[in-house]
Amino acid sequence: MSTPPLRVLLTTFPDAASAQSAATTLVTEHLVACVQILPGITSVYSWQGSVESSSEVLVIIKTSASTAPTALDRLRTLHPYKVPELVSLEASAAEPYLQWVTSHCSP
């Protein structure tokens, strides 16, 4: 039986507290296996006709491919941004890590 592929989800939050709250919820609800929160990034982006710059927190989330759609839906409800960055990337990893991720995610 093959292990489902790994998905890495990327998003940004305005601060560490909101990132921590969403991360805790996603892990507690078994939608993701691991969330890494990286503070201190600067995002430069176009918003409503002008170029903006904001301090943000980058969040890297690991989940199974079968759970990723549900995790993304839940992340949308937890996110404070009107238009959150929600990126899903297919990834590969060593088999033991894939099994660990899969065992901690419930579709």
Residue 106 is predicted with a pLDDT of 83
CATH topology of domain 7-103: Alpha-Beta Plaits (3.30.70)
Which SS3 state, helix, strand or coil, does residue 82 take? coil
pLDDT band at 1 (very low <50, low <70, confident <90, very high): very low
pLDDT at 3 over 90: no
Contact by Cβ (8 Å): 70, 7: no
pLDDT digits (tens, 9 = 90+) for 36-76: 999 999 999 999 999 999 999 999 999 999 999 999 999 99
Helix or strand holding residue 46 (H, E): strand 34-47
Question: What is the domain partition of the chain in residue ranges?
Answer: 7-103
**CA–CA dist 9, 62 (Å, integer):** 6
pLDDT at 4 over 80: no
This prediction has a pTM of 0.92
